């Protein structure tokens, strides 16, 4: 079955409805006892708006993805999870609906939409299946964005159209000995005439079972430490090998593999950005990617909540719906508050990024909080359904298993707290 939804690329694009951010600025001091508190200047907006404001285009994307997720993904989600395989029709549907080049410009066959559109798409997909959500997220917010922002015109022309229409991408930074300390990576790229020769191994690479385009971070001069790290784009047939597919607790239909690179020859023109600046690309892109993981976790929490609360208003005990017991209703209220707070952190970080304002701290907060509450809410959702919640007859146990990954990839929760703590310190100590 093919997705039959209107491709996003065919949707007309109304002008953004968000008020312009006039640069007439207002500034304020924080009245705290801290030393050397910095003055924070923010652009003023003419008409303040809530975070629940979206462009017509963003609303259309939400509707399109919601329908696609219900019609195409939902019927397959359990089987994909059991078999630990992503259904090809789902991947084809993502391409057909313009969801694999959300921010890519129409010149490169993409949908030319906003970053928030990508975040909305990931959230809606994760309400139904977190594996599909991470495939779409990594592909858009990491792979496409690195090529869009740092690739030469030739690279963009060569790689972006395929990524928007038929080719899945992987982002290859982590290694067996380089996880949280990603810049301790040991994969090398040795210059050889007009090529580089890549040797090494990458671990935990999402989408690598389906991918044909790989962004690979390798060190061209290990004596320079992280300042030798360089980003290369390559296709699978250049010699990327899948050494092992991981068997995981959650997001089981998302492929996660160990890759090996054995004398892989890559032309110099495949360097993305500058030689030795790969670390900068990785830092900047992961700051942004974290908002996508936050969206994935908001979706997981909401998906579990929707299923469990609906169940609670169908199931009767003691002659009434179990959802009508005050002890249950208060738990629903508590969970709903947490989901809303996580969602607002996520949308706020996305809008800050779009407005070109600092967002690193807000992105880390969004990821940390959304992954924390996704585990809490999906865990509670199992309990709300009682025994059946513990079985595979309902998707609740799957939401809970899928929620665990949010606190691990694109920087563990400890690393998010480190980032937030460093930025708080910077604000208070000169």
Ligand X SMILES: Cc1cc2nc3c(=O)[nH]c(=O)nc-3n(C[C@H](O)[C@H](O)[C@H](O)COP(=O)(O)OP(=O)(O)OC[C@H]3O[C@@H](n4cnc5c(N)ncnc54)[C@H](O)[C@@H]3O)c2cc1C
Give the binding site for ligand X (CB under 6 A).
Answer: 138, 171-174, 179-180, 204-206, 248, 251, 256, 405, 408-412, 414-415, 418
Does residue 410 carry a catalytic annotation?
Answer: yes
- In DSSP notation, 341-372 reads HHHHHHHHHHHHHHTT---HHHHHHHHHHHHH
Smallest separation (angstroms) from ligand X to the CB of 368 = 11
Smallest separation (angstroms) from ligand X to the CB of 212 = 15
In angstroms, the CA 222 to CA 260 distance is 19
- In DSSP notation, 215-254 reads EEEEES-GGGGGGGEEEEEEEGGGTEEEEEEPP-SSSTTS
Smallest separation (angstroms) from ligand X to the CB of 420 = 13
User: Could you tell me the two tokens for 149?
Assistant: 């922002």
Smallest separation (angstroms) from ligand X to the CB of 104 = 19
Smallest separation (angstroms) from ligand X to the CB of 187 = 11
The answer to whether 230 and 200 have CB atoms below 8 angstroms apart is no
Q: What are the start-end ranges of the E strands in 54-180? A: 169-172
Nearer to ligand X, 288 or 410 (CB): 410
Report the residue closest to ligand X, judged by CB.
Answer: 179
* Residue keyed to tokens 């999906």: 378
**Catalytic residue selected from 57, 124, 288, 410:** 410
DSSP 403: H
* Residue keyed to tokens 């909305």: 120
Smallest separation (angstroms) from ligand X to the CB of 405 = 5
Nearer to ligand X, 147 or 385 (CB): 147
In angstroms, the CA 309 to CA 279 distance is 44
Nearer to ligand X, 270 or 296 (CB): 296
Provide the 10 A C-beta neighbour count for residue 288.
Answer: 22
Nearer to ligand X, 216 or 328 (CB): 216
DSSP percent split of the chain into helix, strand, coil, nearest 5: 55, 15, 30
Nearer to ligand X, 65 or 405 (CB): 405
The answer to whether 278 and 115 have CB atoms below 8 angstroms apart is no
Q: Which residues, in sequence order, are CB contacts of 41 under 8 Å at separation 6+? A: 25, 26, 27
Nearer to ligand X, 55 or 201 (CB): 201
Active-site residues, by number, are 410
């Amino acid at each position: 079955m093919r997705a039959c939804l209107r491709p996003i690329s065919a949707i007309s694009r109304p002008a953004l409805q968000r008020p312009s951010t006039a640069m007439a600025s207002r500034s304020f001091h924080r009245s705290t006892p801290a030393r050397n508190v910095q003055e924070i200047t923010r652009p003023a907006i003419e008409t303040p708006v809530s975070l629940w404001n979206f462009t017509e285009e963003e609303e259309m994307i939400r509707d399109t993805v919601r329908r696609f997720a219900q019609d195409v993904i939902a019927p397959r989600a359990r089987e994909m999870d059991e078999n630990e395989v992503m259904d090809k029709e789902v991947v084809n549907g993502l391409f057909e609906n313009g969801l694999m080049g959300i921010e890519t410009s129409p010149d490169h066959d993409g949908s030319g939409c906003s970053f928030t559109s990508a975040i909305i798409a990931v959230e809606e997909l994760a309400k139904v299946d977190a594996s599909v959500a991470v495939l779409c997220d990594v592909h858009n917010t990491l792979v496409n964005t690195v090529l869009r922002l740092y690739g030469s015109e030739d690279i963009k022309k060569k790689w972006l159209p395929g990524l928007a229409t038929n080719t899945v991408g992987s982002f290859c930074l982590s290694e067996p000995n380089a996880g949280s300390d990603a810049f301790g990576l040991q994969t090398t790229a040795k210059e050889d005439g007009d090529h580089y020769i890549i040797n090494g191994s990458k671990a935990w690479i999402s989408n690598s079972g389906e991918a044909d385009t790989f962004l690979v971070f390798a060190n061209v001069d290990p004596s320079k430490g992280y300042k030798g790290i360089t980003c290369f784009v390559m296709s699978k047939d250049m010699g990327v090998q899948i050494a092992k597919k991981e068997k995981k607790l959650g997001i089981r239909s998302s492929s996660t593999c160990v890759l090996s690179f054995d004398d892989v020859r890559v032309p110099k023109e495949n360097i993305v950005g500058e030689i030795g600046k790969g670390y900068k690309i990785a830092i900047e892109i992961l700051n942004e990617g974290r908002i996508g993981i936050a969206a994935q976790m908001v979706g997981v929490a909401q998906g579990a909540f929707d299923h469990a609360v609906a169940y609670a208003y169908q199931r009767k005990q003691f002659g009434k719906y179990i959802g009508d017991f005050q002890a249950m209703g208060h738990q629903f209220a508590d969970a709903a508050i947490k989901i809303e707070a996580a969602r607002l952190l996520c949308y706020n970080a996305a809008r800050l990024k779009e407005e070109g304002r600092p967002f690193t701290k807000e992105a880390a907060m969004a990821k940390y909080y959304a992954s924390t509450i996704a585990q809490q809410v999906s865990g509670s959702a199992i309990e709300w359904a009682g025994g059946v919640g513990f079985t595979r007859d309902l998707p609740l146990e799957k939401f809970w298993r899928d929620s665990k990954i949010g606190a691990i990839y694109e920087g563990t929760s400890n690393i998010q707290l480190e980032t937030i703590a460093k930025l708080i310190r910077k604000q208070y100590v000169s």
